[in-house]
C-alpha cells in the first residue's frame, strides 16, 4: 500500500472490528439479493460500520458539520401532508414532461424517471411507491479540485443542501397535486445509483460512481419516490465501459488501491466494484475523499458530449 497520512488504519482502532464491508456487500456472491446497508444511513437503523460514521462526523471541519446538520434539518420535510383532492393524470407522458420541467425550475441539473426496482432497496426497508424521479445536480468543479481538503468537503455538502432543497420542493409540489411523494437525499436509506442508471441518466464507472455525460461524476444524486403515474425513461449507453476497460486513471490515483481493473460478481451481478474496506476508512479520514471522481476524464467540465461522440465513433461497424 502507498504511504499515506493520516493512516487509514486509525478508524479501525475499534475494540471489535466490524464485519468486512465486502462480505456485507455480497462480493463474490452469485445469487441476486438486496443490498445490506453498512454506512452513511439516515440514522433510522444501526449499521455495521456506524462507528466509522461517528468518527467521520467528529473529524469533519465545523463548516461541513454545520452544512450536514442543516441538510438533515431540511430533510424533516421529506414527507408531509397530501392535498385532499387528487389532480387526475390523463397523459403520463405529458405529465412526465411537466414534472421534469418543474424539477429543472426548482434547481435540478438533469432529471430522469424510472420504476422503483428491488436493486434500489436495502434489506429491511420497504418504501411503498411505484416510481422514482431521479435528480442530478453538479458540484462546483473549481472547488472540487481541492479534494481531500475541507474546501472540497464543504462544496460536497453545499451541493447536497441544494439538491435536498430541490427534491423536497418537488415532493411538496407533487403532494399538493394529491399524490404521495417523498424526498430522499444524502444519508437516505435508498440506493440512488441503480435508479439513476435505470432512469437513463448515466452508467456505472470503474470507480463505483455514476458517470453522466453532463457532469461526469462531479455531481450529487437525489430522488423523489411517488405514486404519480409518469412515463418512464430507459437506460442509456454513453460508452462508459468503452473507456473504463482501458483507462486506469482512477485505479492508479486511488491512494489505497481500492479500485480494481476487472468487474466482479456482487450479489449475482457482474459490475465494477470498489473495495469497501480499503476505501471507507480513507474516505472518512479525508472529508469524503473523491480523488477517483476528480481525476476521471468524464468529470472535466464540458468534456462528456465530445468524449461520448469519440468513443462511439471507435466502435466497430
Catalog residues that contact ligand SF4 under the rule CB under 6 A: 205-207, 243-244, 247, 249-250, 254, 256, 258-259, 274, 279, 282-283, 289-292, 295-298
The x, y and z cell numbers of residue 243, run together, are 473507456
Q: How far is the CB of 282 from ligand SF4 (least distance, A)?
A: 4
Q: How far is the CB of 225 from ligand SF4 (least distance, A)?
A: 27
Q: How far is the CB of 96 from ligand SF4 (least distance, A)?
A: 30
Give whichever of 63 and 303 is closer to ligand SF4, judged by the CB atom.
303
Give whichever of 24 and 250 is closer to ligand SF4, judged by the CB atom.
250
Give whichever of 52 and 292 is closer to ligand SF4, judged by the CB atom.
292
Give whichever of 136 and 225 is closer to ligand SF4, judged by the CB atom.
136
Region at 7 (left for phi over 0; alpha for psi -120 to 50; beta for the rest): beta
Q: How far is the CB of 104 from ligand SF4 (least distance, A)?
A: 27
Give whichever of 183 and 291 is closer to ligand SF4, judged by the CB atom.
291
Phi, psi of 13 (to 5 degrees): -75, 45
Q: How far is the CB of 263 from ligand SF4 (least distance, A)?
A: 12
Give whichever of 173 and 249 is closer to ligand SF4, judged by the CB atom.
249
Q: How far is the CB of 201 from ligand SF4 (least distance, A)?
A: 16
Give whichever of 168 and 279 is closer to ligand SF4, judged by the CB atom.
279
Q: Could you please report the per-residue DSSP string of the chain?
A: ----SS-TTGGG--SSPPPPHHHHHTBT--S---B---SS--SSS--TTHHHHHHHHHHS-HHHHHHHHHHHHHGGGSS----SSPPP-S-HHHHHHHHHHHHHHTT-SEEEEEE--GGGSBTT-----SEEEEEEEEPPHHHHTTTTSHHHHHHHHHHHHHHHHHHHHHHHHHHHTT--EEEE-TT-SS-HHHHHHHTTS-EE-TTSSEEBTTTBT-EEEEEEEE-S--PPP------HHHHHTT--HHHHH-TT--B-SS-EEETTEEE--B-HHHHHHHHHHTTT--HHHHHSGGGSTT-HHHHHHHHHHTS--
Q: How far is the CB of 34 from ligand SF4 (least distance, A)?
A: 23
Amino acid at each position: 500500500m502507498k504511504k499515506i497520512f493520516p493512516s487509514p488504519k486509525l478508524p479501525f482502532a475499534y475494540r471489535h472490528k466490524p464485519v468486512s464491508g465486502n462480505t456485507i456487500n455480497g462480493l463474490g456472491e452469485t445469487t441476486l439479493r438486496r443490498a445490506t446497508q453498512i454506512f452513511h444511513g439516515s440514522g433510522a437503523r444501526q449499521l455495521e460500520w456506524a462507528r466509522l460514521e461517528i468518527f467521520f462526523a467528529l473529524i469533519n471541519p465545523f463548516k461541513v458539520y454545520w452544512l450536514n446538520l442543516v441538510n438533515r434539518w431540511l430533510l424533516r420535510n421529506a414527507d408531509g401532508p397530501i392535498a385532499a383532492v387528487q389532480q387526475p393524470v390523463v397523459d403520463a407522458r405529458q405529465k412526465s414532461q411537466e414534472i421534469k420541467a418543474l424539477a429543472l425550475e426548482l434547481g435540478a441539473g438533469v432529471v430522469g424517471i424510472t420504476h422503483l426496482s428491488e436493486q434500489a432497496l436495502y434489506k429491511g426497508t420497504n418504501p411503498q411507491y411505484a416510481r422514482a424521479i431521479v435528480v442530478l445536480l453538479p458540484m462546483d468543479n473549481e472547488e472540487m479540485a481541492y479534494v481531500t481538503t475541507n474546501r472540497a468537503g464543504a462544496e460536497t455538502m453545499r451541493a447536497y443542501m441544494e439538491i435536498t432543497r430541490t427534491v423536497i420542493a418537488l415532493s411538496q409540489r407533487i403532494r399538493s397535486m394529491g399524490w404521495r411523494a417523498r424526498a430522499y437525499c444524502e444519508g437516505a436509506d435508498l440506493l440512488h445509483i441503480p435508479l439513476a442508471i435505470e432512469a437513463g441518466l448515466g452508467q456505472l464507472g470503474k470507480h463505483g460512481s455514476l458517470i453522466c455525460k453532463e457532469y461526469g461524476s462531479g455531481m450529487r444524486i437525489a430522488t423523489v419516490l411517488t405514486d404519480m403515474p409518469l412515463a418512464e425513461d430507459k437506460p442509456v449507453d454513453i460508452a462508459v465501459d468503452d473507456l473504463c476497460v482501458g483507462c486506469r486513471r482512477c485505479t492508479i490515483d486511488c491512494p489505497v488501491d481500492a479500485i480494481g481493473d476487472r468487474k466482479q460478481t456482487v450479489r449475482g451481478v457482474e459490475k465494477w466494484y470498489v473495495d469497501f474496506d480499503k476505501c471507507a476508512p480513507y474516505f472518512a479520514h479525508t472529508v469524503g475523499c473523491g480523488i477517483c471522481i476528480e481525476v476521471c476524464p468524464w468529470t472535466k467540465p464540458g468534456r462528456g458530449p465530445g468524449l461520448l461522440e469519440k468513443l462511439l465513433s471507435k466502435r466497430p461497424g
